Structure 1
Amino acid sequence: MTTLTLVKKTSFKVASLATTILLSICTPVRAFMFGTSGIQFDRDTNINFTFQTSHGGYQSSLWVAQADPDNNGYSSIARLFYEIQPSDNGSTNDWEGSFGTGVTSDNGSITQTFTFLRDQIYALLLWSDIGNGQPFGQYVSSSTFMNSPEWWDPSSGFRRDECLVAGCQQAVFGNFILDYSSNNSFTNINGGNGPEQYSAVTMTQLAAGIQISFDDAGGNDVDFQDFTLAAQLAPETTTQQAQPRPTSGDHRPGNVIQFDHSTAPGELPPGPVPEAVPEPVTVFGTILGIGALAGVRRKKKRGQQREK
């Protein structure tokens, strides 16, 4: 079992912890997210993932990873798709891989249905054999904060040294354009919208169907064309057959990613949000306002007493 651990504990953690606290104060509570901040639902939710295409010379596999209860790690619990060879036909069409030729799944289906358990935090991990014979040679995560030098894999010694502590965005979510015949940048192909514009989707978008595409960090092209799939909210009547439903303590063998929770921005309070909740900053402002009014009244009352 491969384990990713925190590389080092440095002074940045103090600033990071302060930033995390500040963000937790300023950010409304969220029970749903599907994007580069993580994947989380407020009820058990089935999502259909349909493979589209892969490109690039790496041989990769895509996994669903679930956060450990104490948020100190992520375990790869379900493999969605994997390449049985780097491409269909060598470097043809930028090392293109299609389902049934270069790519397959554990049950042979191009669509995999996975049940995300309520209030659990997940990420998608694209593991790659970078020519060293190790299927877990390196990874990119759909969660940006996991693509930082603070994470590493002691089995292969791999870590993302090229990214800042905040991490690099290696996946895009939504309805974007990919042009495999162009050398143009992702931003130019999408009319000036950069990857950051495709960092999260709403439940409405997910119900209609969206794309997810990864950049495996090979070649430093940041084209987000290396592994692409569609994702859509499955009908509630759908019976899950492709993957076993994950339960606490019942993970399939896979890769465990350990992370120091004091630097993880993905820790969210569990439970649904039945209605809009005012941001804490607004609440604090109201409290300060009430305090100011009370002070004015006390001052006025003291003045009246002196006049008597």
Structure 2
Amino acid sequence: MTTLTLVKKTSFTVASLATTMLLSICPPVRAFMFGTSGIQFDQDTSINFTFDQSHGAYQSSLWVAQAQSGNTGYTNIARLFYETKPSDNGSANDWQGSFGNAVTSENGSITQTFKFLQDQTYALLLWSDSGSGKPLEQYASSSTFMNSPEWFAANTQFRRDDCLVAGCQQAVFGDFNLDYNSGDLFTSVNGGKGPEQYSLLTMAQLAQGTKISFDDAGGGNDADFQDFTLSAELAPKPVNGLAFRNFTVSAQLPPEPAPEPAPEPVPEPVTVFGTMLGIGALAATRRKKKQGQEP
């Protein structure tokens, strides 16, 4: 598997000093973040990524990249999904690609699980072949600060010089809308909300499952965010070696034992004594009667 490292430029002019200083403190160090500032967890966390669809003429692959020490570079460490051809059927449906046709994964599964290690910083990188035959010709990062001229990859042709100091947002996160049958802008499709309002996820959103979508910077970097779409969800935590999703347990109580027969009442001592007297009197009467009958 090809590994490519994206690095931050170390040589700079006086005019770019402020840019380099700004980028050197991005992304901010936090216990948890998942969005355009980076990906980081405060404990080892596994995420299930499920492919949705791709669009556009570029042939792309989506990677997890991990930051190097000092945040001076990112290295591809896992390929989640990749296109084997630009689309299912040429330019039909805006070059739509579906899983099992134009898109696949290393193990052939539409869902890929990746474990993010505690306190490590990551990004998702969408690499594209724009027609040169090089699968890693250019990239779009989920981390906005990496989409600027201050970052580059060796032996690639792409430079996003239009993104200036802070970089361009090339990915959206959350409960946004996409209309593949419309040429409307992302903001129009989402009721006036721009991409910047879909820049991070909460743990609650990850627990429920949410969307991530990229713009591959093609078409003049039109920022339609329709080029590579997938979902992300917290992977179920294993219990005794088995993984369980949320479930409800109904406790079944054991059946009640059959009632034992009620014990017969024990006669009171007075009653017993009275009965014995009665039996004795009856016996004495029978003896007297028998003696009276004897000749």
Q: TM-score normalized by structure 2?
A: 0.75
* 1:258 alignment partner in structure 2: none
Deviation at 1:12, TM superposition (A): 4.5
* 2:18 alignment partner in structure 1: 15
For 1:149, the aligned partner's letter is P
* 2:174 alignment partner in structure 1: 174
* 2:236 alignment partner in structure 1: 235
Deviation at 1:179, TM superposition (A): 0.2
Q: Secondary structure at the match of 2:207?
A: helix
Instruction: Report the more deviating stretch, 170-179 or 68-77.
Output: 68-77
Q: Which structure 1 residue ranges, 4+ long, deviate > 6 Å from structure 2?
A: 20-24
* 2:6 alignment partner in structure 1: 4
* 1:222 alignment partner in structure 2: 223
Q: Cα distance 1:224–1:165, how it changes in 2: closer, same or farther (>3 A)? A: same
* 1:154 alignment partner in structure 2: 154
* 1:64 alignment partner in structure 2: 64
Q: Secondary structure at the match of 1:187?
A: helix
Backbone CA RMSD of aligned residues: 2.2
* 1:47 alignment partner in structure 2: 47
In percent, how many aligned pairs have the same letter?
Answer: 67
Please say if residues 2 and 155 of structure 1, whose CA atoms lie closer than 8 Å, have aligned partners that are also in contact.
no
Deviation at 1:154, TM superposition (A): 2.3
Higher RCO, 1 vs 2 (CA within 8 Å, ≥6 residues apart): 1
* 1:57-96 deviation per Cα after TM superposition (whole angstroms, max 9, x unaligned): 0000000000012321101000000000000000000000
How many residue pairs match? The answer is: 237
Please say if residues 6 and 75 of structure 2, whose CA atoms lie closer than 8 Å, have aligned partners that are also in contact.
no
Deviation at 1:153, TM superposition (A): 2.1
Q: Secondary structure at the match of 2:163?
A: coil
Q: What stretches of structure 2 of length at least 5 have no aligned partner?
A: 243-295
How many angstroms apart in 1 are the aligned matches of 2:25 and 2:158? 31
Q: Cα distance 1:112–1:191, how it changes in 2: closer, same or farther (>3 A)? A: same
Please say if residues 128 and 139 of structure 1, whose CA atoms lie closer than 8 Å, have aligned partners that are also in contact.
yes
* 1:34 alignment partner in structure 2: 34
Q: Secondary structure at the match of 1:148?
A: coil
How many angstroms apart in 2 are the aligned matches of 1:16 and 1:96? 37
Please say if residues 153 and 159 of structure 1, whose CA atoms lie closer than 8 Å, have aligned partners that are also in contact.
no
Q: What stretches of structure 1 of length at least 5 have no aligned partner?
A: 241-308
Based on CA coordinates, which of the two structures has the bigger radius of gyration? 2
